Structure 1
């Protein structure tokens, strides 16, 4: 077993796709870095924190992108976002079997502020254009940094989300919530609370991700292969069903994930944090 969380972005790409099939666009030798960070005197990365390109998965053509959480928390800036937009736009032209996004990001890179915000909005538009063309977009989440902020929204725009039990997905990160509303609202140091509220088990039980896997590269690869070719058209009926599901959740008046699981009909909800992936999957409530 190889831990997905402990791998770098490029290591994940190399192990998820067919061996030796990844061809990177805008590779390290081009040193496409952020002009904004240089002006601020902040160290840059040779790829601005994201690798993009084409590959094969189970013999099928796919486009891929992987964010590097070790560089500025995977934050999205102008160049980082432009690379993702370019990937999606090329997918519209070349029509691969799927686009894979290995997401690990805290959201917009604060150093680039408005440029980062605009970049995230452009990524969302490009992703939805790809979905509208019938090309499925699959998001994999299992890095130690999680997937938050604007990238959390991007992930929920995709056809499928695959998460490990230690992956995290949310709009706002724990530290952001605590800083904005106080430790009484959310204690970011309470790691059990953080994972109950944003972790893979919670997202699977609430229908916010489509496959829950172990923190294992092979498990991620198998789940991704299983989702290939399964496009989910963005239709009015689908949007209305999603809005109805979320509206029902708004009626929940509790303050803890365990209470929400109970309200959703999860049996023995209090035991969920102690269950492994197989145990959670066996609950049969997804």
Structure 2
């Protein structure tokens, strides 16, 4: 159960998450709003800009240990990645290679690349992925926290799965294509984006934790995210041929579980075939119930 004094992670802004997750007063922001680094593309299109282009980056400490942090602001264009937004993330990661903090935290909340500057955003996301893998190769863990109202979709969904460690709340969502995108491309019969239960069964934190796409499942509580982030500070996972082959084997085995015809809901079928007891009850369980389920 969530304590009555807890603070919802999903309801916090990017800077509120930074202030509450990290050691008090330790955050030093690079390229803050006062610098007015904005997207030139949005201005040309007459679209309102944000003086930080929707992402705050900087250094801080977490449990007394030096970290770099980036927090995407879901309230600005859904946390969409554009040229400047992406360049700030790349710059943070490249500076991590030079300064070698204990970890890099990415507080992800994004619907993907901005359609307003699609090509620039796509290039930026590819550069973020390359820089993130360079940081991992250097032995610096990259920890992604997902629990915002917009979820983590599109290019940022791929970025998240490139990281060492992923923490999600039960209200968080993670996927490549967002529900609305799937519905628009393939029709409501393929995916009904208005079916909230379906959306969370297929992209939500519980599902991602059960199938192994996230490493820690927590309540929608800032303190729970902080505790999980501290625990992950030593979670570096070197990128090697063995780890890549193991990941491919996991994905191959998961696909094989759905090779036979599915009678009913695919998510529940997958849970059952993974050996999850009482898969029909997953939607009703809280985080403590989910942890108890895994222990059994």
State the TM-score, normalizing by the size of structure 1.
Answer: 0.99
1:84 aligns with 89
2:3 aligns with none
Report Cα offsets for 1:164-202 as digits up to 9, x if no partner.
000000000000000000000000000000001100000
2:158 aligns with 153
Deviation (angstroms), 1:250: 1.4
2:199 aligns with 194
Residue 171 of structure 1 pairs with residue 176 of structure 2 = yes
Contact 1:266 1:285 in 2 (8 A): no
- The residue correspondences of 1:1-286 to structure 2 (distance < 5 A) are 1-251=6-256, 252-253=258-259, 254=262, 255-284=265-294
3-state SS, counterpart of residue 293 of structure 2: coil
3-state SS, counterpart of residue 43 of structure 1: coil
Contact 1:81 1:116 in 2 (8 A): yes
Q: How many residues align?
A: 286
Deviation (angstroms), 1:115: 0.3
Deviation (angstroms), 1:283: 1.4
Runs of 4+ in structure 1 off by over 6 angstroms are none
Report Cα offsets for 1:73-97 as digits up to 9, x if no partner.
0000000000000000000000000
3-state SS, counterpart of residue 162 of structure 1: strand
Contact 1:107 1:149 in 2 (8 A): yes
3-state SS, counterpart of residue 197 of structure 2: helix
3-state SS, counterpart of residue 283 of structure 1: helix
Supply the RMSD in Å over aligned alpha carbons: 0.9
Report Cα offsets for 1:19-54 as digits up to 9, x if no partner.
110000001100100000000000000100000000
3-state SS, counterpart of residue 87 of structure 2: helix
3-state SS, counterpart of residue 112 of structure 1: helix
Q: Distance in 2 between the 1:113 and 1:178 partners?
A: 20
**Deviating more after overlay: 243-252 vs 112-121:** 243-252
Q: Which runs of 5+ in 1 are unaligned?
A: none
Q: Distance in 2 between the 1:17 and 1:51 partners?
A: 14
